[in-house]
Chains A and B, each alone.
Chain A
Amino acid sequence: MTVTEERPAGEVGSARRRKEDARLITGRTMWTENLSLPGMLHLAILRSPMAHARITRLDVGPALQAPGVVTAFTGRDVADVQGSLVCAWPVTEDIVQPAHPPLAVDEVRHVGEAVAVVIARDRASALDALMNIDVEYDELPPVLDMEAALADDAPLVHADQGTNRAFHWVYDSAQAGAGDDFEQVARDADVVVRRRYVQQRLIPSFMEPRSVLVDPTSDQITVWSTTQIPHILRVILALVTGVPEHKIRVIAPDVGGGFGGKLQVTPEELIAFLAAQRVGKPVKYTETRSDTMIAAHHGRDQIQDIDVAARRDGTVLALRARLLANMGAYLGLVGAGVPILGAYMYNGIYKFRAYRFECTGVFTTTAFTDAYRGAGRPEATFAVERIMDELAAELGMDPIELRRRNWIRHEEFPYTTAAGLTYDSGNYEAATAKAMQLFGYDDLRREQQARRESGDPVQLGIGVSTYTEMCGLAPSRLWGSLRYTAGGWETATVRMLPTGRVEVVTGTSPHGQSHETAWSQIVADQLGVPFEDVEVLHGDTRSSPRGLDTYGSRSLAVGGTALVQACQKVIDKARPIAAHLLEADPGDLEFSGGAFRVRGTPEGEAGKTLAECALAVFAAHNLPPGVEPVIDADATYDPANFSFPHGTHLCAVDVDTETGRVAIRRYVAVDDVGRVVNPLIVEGQVHGGVAQGVAQALFEEAVYDADGNLVTGSFADYTLPSSADLPDFITDRTETPALEHPLGTKGVGEAGTIASTPAVVNAVVDALRPYGVTDVRMPCTPERVWQAVSTASRKGGQP
């Protein structure tokens, strides 16, 4: 089924402008950094310049003398009370979980680790006073290379743990009963292609730097934070600090982007909490971009060894992925689980008979890694989509033809993969056909041939990515089996106000995802109320006490479903009241357009609207006997399965073989994200997602030097592209509803990022394949591309 261009009858499906935009783009909102409380103090953090060192001397005395300074303290000063940050996803039973004090106590393990704080009356004084802190380090060897870190005699990041190996996690389709044994199947294959891919380290570049304000002066300690996860933060603050959970209130006000980078309980949040408790006054910390770069968690950073076994005719048989995943110096909140999320996606949309996955988590003296848009799934998708192209080249087949021979056909759903997941729906044929047509695939292939033959210094490359991903995190039972400590449900409350307006409370925590708009659209259709009459509350544990927040493309698929169910409950509760008012049998009533009518009554005839029911329960003068005077409702939805968005992205690049520059000439994204609530929002998510995926392919890389300095510590060196570096995206959709999610939606937050990176790199390699190039390491910088061409040319390759 494809999208029709007709205007939808209801709110769902219409391209509503975002409710949030007016306040966000005119600056009429309060970001955490804008908040100011009476008596508020400012906190500054001294960070380690060393990658790995013992702190031999640390004296905040001189800082205390500086103007405006109220107090200062070190990790040693609070060693007994500061606790440790938490790993919420201990992926194996024997995972190594080193203590992660918010302030380093005796040893620092990455550049940027917090070692001391100054609290002053204003921010500038706090920052100035940092300069006066007397600190000396005794250098320890940095641990940077993952393979070297695993050697027997390697220096250790955590000497007390005796190893740099954090965990070793295995999935095997034979053991899981989801397929055959990799080795066995590979032995009988005609061809085995083996590649190593490097997922470079990336830095989530959210627009709003992280900020936290803690007010300890009222009965509840209130924490404002730029977080994606106010609910999870509250639980963990209670667990770590010992302050009872009901005495903590967490507020995530408008938050300026996260991309997974704010899916964390951070050292800074705990430090600010501790500081506020110590001084008994509100304390605010706002980082600079430089702090973000060195101290916020990073993403990706994996080495992937991939083997694919196939028959000569192009039938794929078996797949193996062996990973090294860089944890950095500590385990982040869900960092260890990131590669495990990917484990279920390496097989992509293809029918492998056997699949084996192994991942070793490794400690290094670098910033800890954790979720970054896609979290494990972009890495997996990259590996399989890249190696499918390599296999196609090996077999002399068109890469799309190879995919077509191996993907799950639409009539084969539901389909259980070798990774053990059951995909409920999909139509890869439709998405691919549409993408190829929009792209002009055959014409571009012809042009490519002509340019190869003429020896054009600018070569054309075509890359494809037929991705799928698992979204709608997540079935709680499944989370449990993967040793994740929380659940995956989501909750919604619908409150009918006496005047007929609707207040919706969601447990999701938007930070750019437009929940206020989309949730209003859903409620408008469900309850038959105007879009404008719906108010969506979120991100405050006082108004929204239950929830599991926003990440993993989960909010609409899970939280949206909870919302629909809550709306249904409202209608169910209102029905007997309406029947009573209409003097009819509840069973004879039907609800549509916001009103109950006796079945058979012509449209337009008077019925009882939901607003009338709301007023009736408010007054409660005339209710049927035994009926509670309320029609508000809560619902909590725990999905039975993931949702599986998919799609086909095609990318054409011009590669200037003289300079190595890659320019994207045409980019087509056809995504199937299920039912679409608001096409404008979906479009925005796809654009942003593709931009971030392209950025990994061509531009971004966090680099540590041999001493463990993050040498890409600013945007001068960490190369973030802008719109000027990106093409116009051609986007379209197919729509195969998610069968196991009542709303039919699948999730779109990560799709673009997951799909685009391999499409772009496949295009770059495709352009250079006549030269004998089989890979270009990401990001495919002009110099790397030029090196690939020069090296291959020296070996005799030519277009």
Chain B
Amino acid sequence: MRLDHDFTVPVPADEAWRVLLDVPRVAPCMPGATLTDSDGDRFAGTVKVKLGPITLSYRGTGHFVDRDESTRRVVIEAHGRESRGSGTAAATVTAVLEPVGDTTRVRVSTDLHVTGRPAQFGRGMIADVSGKLVDQFAACLAQELTGGGAEAVGARAPTQAAVGAPAQAGMDAQAPGAAAGSPPPGAGQPVSPAAPGAAAEVGVAPEPVATAPGPAPTQPTATTGRAAEPIDLLEVTGLRALLREHAPTVALLTAVAVVAWVLGRRSARR
């Protein structure tokens, strides 16, 4: 499955490039991701996606396959395994930065392979879910790269609309329909930080902050502050991408990538 994203951020390419390589900063953009280890080239972590009653959790690792400053191209491979069950997820993410005046055009293409139960029994769910995850990842990345204001609202993964990221995910390269063809609505437009409207939408969910769990005290090591605020993803997107926190016993995770991996092995919890 290939998913393509294309957006522009209002910062120079050099600056965007620095952010893109900062794993601890970028990893939490993956909804539900917890970075557990990172040495610059390699990283490990977990990803848990909750969608209504459905929970997909993976744990795995990733590494930079390519980091070419001259072409400003980054290729990351990540691979993970379902914590319950033997399904796998693997992603190759290619991001290319292209200076456009003082702004930077970012093209992210994700080649995603999912096996096991989610692929077999999902009524096409996996495409929907993956598309959404990548949308949010790209939207958040746009936010990160935009920099300004990111700290203030950083915990919030902006909605697609707020970011202006196209987030149009075609099912595959041959029949993407929207993705390849017409320029996405936000393309070429500066990205604004999460619009207040996004937060306002949250109002429909009463007191969501109170009802969703905050980070558990047993938070594993390298989790960034951002990832520790999953609630905002829930608020803004409605996707209950909650972090797994019972993880000390668990191996951990991935991040930049697209699908991820967790642990949360049930036996460990009992």
Contact = CB atoms under 8 A, between A and B. Distances in A.
B267 A66 contact: yes
A710 B120 contact: yes
Interface stretch (B30-38, B85-93, B239-247): B85-93
Contacts of A139: 90
Interface stretch (A129-137, A355-363, A481-489, A596-604): A129-137
B267 A50 contact: no
B115 A50 contact: yes
B91 to A, nearest CB: 12
A709 B122 CA distance: 12
Given A50-B115, A66-B267, A132-B267, A709 B120 contact: yes
Interface stretch (A448-456, A557-565, A712-720, A787-795): A712-720
Contacts of A705: 1, 119
A235 interface: no
A47 B114 CA distance: 15
Given A132-B267, A294-B120, A714-B121, A707 B113 contact: yes
Most chain B CB neighbours (cut-off 10 Å) among A49, A51, A111, A139: A49
B117 to A, nearest CB: 8
A51 B114 CA distance: 11
A290 B88 contact: no
Nearest to A66: B267
A711 B119 contact: yes
B145 to A, nearest CB: 31
Interface string B158-200: 0000000000000010000000000000000000000000000
A709 B115 CA distance: 6
A290 B115 contact: no
Interface in B114-138: 114-117, 119-124
Contacts of A710: 120
Contacts of A148: none
A139 B89 CA distance: 12
B120 A290 contact: yes
Contacts of B1: 705-706
B50 interface: no
Most chain A CB neighbours (cut-off 10 Å) among B113, B120, B267: B120
Contacts of B88: 49-50, 137
Contacts of A713: 119-121
A365 to B, nearest CB: 12
Contact of A131 (B120, B124, B266): B266
Interface string A113-140: 0000000000000000001110111010
A505 B267 CA distance: 52
A46 interface: yes
A49 B84 contact: no
B119 to A, nearest CB: 4
Interface string A689-723: 00000000000000001110111011011000000
B85 A131 contact: yes
Interface string B53-92: 0000000000000000000000000000100111110100
Contacts of B119: 49, 705, 707, 709, 711, 713
Nearest to B120: A713
A716 B123 CA distance: 6
B60 to A, nearest CB: 11
Contact of A716 (B87, B115, B121): B121
Interface string A90-121: 00000000000000000000010000000000
A498 B86 CA distance: 61
A704 B115 CA distance: 11
A706 B172 contact: yes
Contacts of A135: 86
Interface string A56-81: 00000000001000000000000000
Contacts of B120: 111, 290, 293-294, 709-711, 713-714
Query: Which label, helix, strand, loop or mixed, suits the secondary structure of the B interface?
Result: loop
Contact of A49 (B87, B265, B266, B267): B87
A105 B215 CA distance: 43
Contacts of B81: 136
Given A294-B120, A706-B172, A713-B121, A111 B86 contact: no
Interface string A159-174: 0000000000000000
Contacts of B113: 707
Interface string B1-12: 100000000000
A132 B1 CA distance: 29
Interface in B207-244: none
Contacts of A293: 120
Contacts of B90: 139
A111 B118 CA distance: 13
Contacts of B87: 49
A716 B122 CA distance: 8
A49 B116 contact: yes
A397 to B, nearest CB: 39
A279 to B, nearest CB: 23
Contacts of A131: 84-85, 265-267
A717 B86 contact: no
Contacts of B114: 707, 709
Interface string A294-312: 1000000000000000000
B123 A717 contact: yes
Contacts of A706: 1, 172
Given A290-B120, A714-B121, A133 B115 contact: no
A784 to B, nearest CB: 15
A713 B126 CA distance: 13
Contacts of A716: 121, 123
A330 B117 CA distance: 23
A47 B86 CA distance: 8
B267 A133 contact: no
B129 to A, nearest CB: 14
Interface in A131-157: 131-133, 135-137, 139
A113 to B, nearest CB: 12
Nearest to A710: B120
B58 to A, nearest CB: 12
A298 to B, nearest CB: 14
A120 to B, nearest CB: 14
Contacts of B115: 49-51, 111, 707, 709
A38 B265 CA distance: 34
Contact of B86 (A133, A707, A711): A133
Nearest to A717: B123
A290 B86 contact: no
Given A66-B267, A131-B85, A133-B86, A290 B172 contact: no
A133 B81 CA distance: 12
A139 B114 CA distance: 12
Contacts of A132: 267
Interface string B249-266: 000000000000000011
A706 B115 CA distance: 11
Nearest to B115: A49
Nearest to A51: B115
B267 to A, nearest CB: 6
A714 B1 CA distance: 21
A38 to B, nearest CB: 30
A49 B87 CA distance: 6
A132 B267 CA distance: 8
B185 to A, nearest CB: 27
A717 B85 CA distance: 21
The 10 closest A-B pairs by CB, nearest first: A713-B120, A49-B116, A709-B119, A49-B115, A49-B87, A714-B121, A716-B123, A707-B113, A49-B86, A713-B121
Given A47-B86, A707-B115, 5 more contacts: A49-B117, A131-B267, A705-B1, A706-B1, A713-B119
26 contacts: A47-B86, A48-B86, A49-B86, A49-B88, A49-B115, A49-B117, A49-B119, A50-B115, A66-B267, A131-B85, A131-B265, A131-B267, A135-B86, A137-B88, A139-B90, A707-B115, A709-B114, A709-B115, A709-B120, A710-B120, A711-B119, A711-B120, A711-B124, A713-B120, A714-B120, A717-B121
